[in-house]
Amino acid sequence: MDDWRAIPLRELERNCIAHLDPEGFRYYLPTLAISVIENYEPSSMRVIGTFIALYPKQDDWSYCMHMYSLLDEKQNSCVAQFLQQLPELVTLEHEDVKICEKALQNYWSQYI
């Protein structure tokens, strides 16, 4: 599929973000972010995987940096803005609000 905007939700639910390489991560990330806004389901592996992928922690820092390595400045800025604005756009569960805050604090705020 050449256009990430045409990826159906059922494919996002079926494919696990944890199995993506950096190219796949960069390709799927926009539609995953949009799917979280439009179809937030806290128990969905699509949503859980997206939050985990955007929350770099010390024990998986090098893996996350590898996944983020193909993102350019504009894409990094979009991720930061997504994490910053998401709690205002969607009624998130408390834990997901905390993940957005910590992800920004740990890494993404440098792109705001």
Q: Which residue has the tokens 């910053």?
A: 84
Q: Mean pLDDT for the chain?
A: 92
* Band of pLDDT at residue 9, cut at 50, 70 and 90: confident
Count the domains in the chain. 1
1 falls in which pLDDT band (50, 70, 90)? low
Distance CA 10, CA 82 (A): 22
Question: Which pLDDT tens digit goes with each residue over 13-22?
Answer: 777 787 889 9
Q: Which domain holds residue 38?
A: 4-111
pTM score, two decimals?
Answer: 0.90
Contacts of 48 (CB under 8 A, 6+ apart): 42
Q: Rounded to an integer, what distance in angstroms lies between the CA atom of residue 33 and that of residue 109?
A: 17
